[in-house]
Amino acid sequence: MYSINSHIDSLREKHQQVIQDSQKHTEDYIKLLTLASCEFPKIEQAFDKCGFTILDYTCRKSGIREDGDQLYVNFKIVPKSPKYRYIKFDGYTKSGAGKNQPKLRERADKLEMEILTYTGLECEVNPYCFEIGRGKDKGGSILVDFWFKELNLSCDTELKED
């Protein structure tokens, strides 16, 4: 028969499970952050070699995945030189695509390849961050995303040379 005491016991069990899950989630997040932090010096060196400085970064752990959790790190970088040339907005094609889209993608692909060459890490660069115009006189920060899995992390921070 159902009783208040059995309901209280059930709530206590569920609460304990939530606490255990939260602790495991926190421990996994800290482990991923610690391992990823070993990669940060070589990422910073790669940005430096490419002519950029890190302005800020954010980290977020993915949800539970069957193949393991991932740590998402989004870097905001800015050019070191005030003379860095952003690409001016050039309007749209008849189909609605940006006329600059190929130039923007090319610039993003080039930076992705340079970072991969220097670090051995794949990343994704937001191509639209290279564009100015449409009310923007100056270029802003460029967004670069990395995804780290525990399996592909090590504390080898040696920068690869050209």
Q: Do the bridges between strand 70-79 and strand 142-149 make them parallel or antiparallel, or are there none, so unpaired?
A: antiparallel
User: Maximum CA pair distance of the chain?
Assistant: 78
**So what's the pLDDT on residue 65?**
62
pLDDT per residue of the chain (162 residues) written in tens, 0 to 9: 678 989 999 999 999 999 998 898 888 888 888 888 889 999 999 999 999 999 999 999 876 666 667 889 999 999 999 888 898 888 888 888 888 899 999 999 999 999 999 999 999 999 999 998 766 667 889 999 998 876 555 565 444 554
pLDDT of residue 157: 44
Task: Quote the pLDDT of residue 75.
Answer: 97
For 99, phi then psi, to 5°, come to: -65, -25
To the nearest 10°, the Cα dihedral for 47, 48, 54, 55?
Answer: -130
- Rounded to whole angstroms, the Cα distance separating 120 from 150 reads 16
* Tokens 């690409």, residue located: 87
What's the confidence (pLDDT) of residue 159?
A: 45
Beta strand 87-88 with 131-132 is parallel
Measured N-to-C along each axis, helices 101-119 and 40-49 cross at an angle, to the nearest 10 degrees, of: 130
What is the rounded CA–CA span in Å between residue 24 and residue 61?
13
